[in-house]
Amino acid sequence: MASFKLKSLLLFLLIYFIGARDSFAQVKTDQIAEKMLVYQRSYGGWPKAFAGKKIVYEQDLSDDQIRFIKRDIDAEDATIDNKATSREIRYLAKAYKQTSNVKYLQAVQKGLDYLLVAQYDNGGWPQYYPAKNLYRGQVTYNDDAMVNVLNILQDIVEKTNDFDVLDASYTSKSIRAIDKATQCILNTQVKVNGGLTAWAAQYDEKSLMPAKARAFEPASLSSSESVGIVRFLMRLPNPSAEIKTAIFSAMDWFEKVKIAGFATKNITSADQPTGKDRILVSDETSTIWARFYDIQTFEPIFIGRDAVIRKRLSEIDNERRVGYAWYGTWPQKLKDHDFAKWKKNNGL
């Protein structure tokens, strides 16, 4: 009898270890996702750079590099700037769908928890969290930072773009965060002489007044960031009267400040420190918008690293002139396609 029990135990252990081995062997990995796990901070977010260099996940990491990176796991440098944290959450959600590797889903959930904790009570998000020194603590629309977060949360609500893998608790959390953020967006749409216009790139986190960030990013109306905000508002189902008014007002403002008959041109210029230049030229087929507009006059404004606001692109330093997107066609697709589609979908 003892011999039979021993044989049964040995058979059970053999089957168990074979199953465990096969199960382990079947865990699929994604090389990009694996490197994203290395850079994720202990509190859930991701930095956009490490050791002064932009993070490029396509580059291989040695064991020594991985150990070096993980030493900074508690560094307070996580951000939503330049798509950081948003791009990792999106990629890892897709990687989980493709591999069923639970580590990737856990990293997504940890990243989402980070975003939800970072949101201010007023509905906005700081550019960085937990570090919020200088302009990093401002409510930041710049480079679509806040909109990138909101589009992830809306995907969770709609269970699209691979976010159907999350449990229902994240749906309810996302709805609450979106409601708060939408009210923040409505509260920060700038009024001039009683009329709604567009949005600034960043706002003081307490007063919600337009604020400057870097020396060449003044408090102003921003056409590029406003496009991202309007496009997000157009995603929301059953828009309220207040949301509709916000969208119509912004579209009216885009029309008011468009610059018809001009385009920018990049040229070679040996006279300039960078060896190149960017100039404004006549082009009757082109319509562009300035990146920044004076809040009161709606005049395009330009600013170099000296922080002095000027009215012509040619008046700022060459490095900033060629190194920043001062003009663009950002609202064009919104005007030509998205706005009409939104109006039709909402019986307007």
Tell me which residues are annotated as active site. Answer: 82, 214
User: What percent of the chain is helix, strand and coil (3-state, nearest 5)?
Assistant: 50, 15, 35
Q: CB under 8 Å to 4, separation ≥6 — which residues? A: none
d(CA 153, CA 316): 39
Alpha helix (H) ranges present in 50-165? 63-70, 86-99, 102-118, 145-158
Q: CB under 8 Å to 47, separation ≥6 — which residues? A: 39, 41, 55, 75, 77, 78, 79, 84
d(CA 95, CA 101): 8
* Terminal CA-CA length for the chain: 83
| Residue 165 DSSP code | G
Q: CB under 8 Å to 304, separation ≥6 — which residues? A: 215, 216, 310, 316, 317, 319, 320, 321
Backbone angles phi, psi at 300, to 5 degrees: -60, 140
**Cβ count near 294 (within 10 Å):** 16
d(CA 156, CA 171): 6
Relative orientation angle of helices 102-118 and 168-188, to the nearest 10 degrees = 30
